[in-house]
Amino acid sequence: MRMEPPMTGTGPAKVGDVLDMGAPEPPNVIGVESLAWADYGWGDGPTLADESADDDPEAELLNFGKTSAPSIDGYWKFYLGGKTYIDWETMLRRFGPVRVTHTSKENSDD
């Protein structure tokens, strides 16, 4: 698995940027995937990813999407035994490093 050095700072992120524990939440990121957890389709749900997870067509990395509903605005939603909401710091600590998959045009340098 090829990894870019982790991003630092609070500026906008680009798709493909890697963020790890302690990284501030970029203002434009709305989707990330865990590089440490993957679902290999065995029926057991996500497990620790091995080095070939990026190249394995059967593996699906654990995805997170930023919420915007008023009661949970700013939390990150993912599915691990059911729908779960988590904050940025906890997500990075438990499931990091993460790779940016989606950004919003708002708060972006694009």
What pLDDT is attached to residue 50?
67
Q: If you search the block for the tokens 């680009």, which residue do you land on? A: 14
- Neighbouring CB atoms inside 10 A of 29's CB total 25
DSSP H or E segment with residue 65: strand 60-66
| pLDDT tens-place string over residues 19-75 | 999 999 999 999 999 988 877 666 666 677 766 666 666 668 889 999 988 888 889
Pull the structure tokens for residue 11: 């500026």
| pLDDT tens-place string over residues 22-32 | 999 999 999 99
Pull the structure tokens for residue 14: 């680009």
**Mean pLDDT (the chain, rounded):** 81
pTM of the model: 0.77
Q: Give 96: exposed, middle or buried? Use CB within 10 Å, 0-12, 13-18, 19+.
A: buried
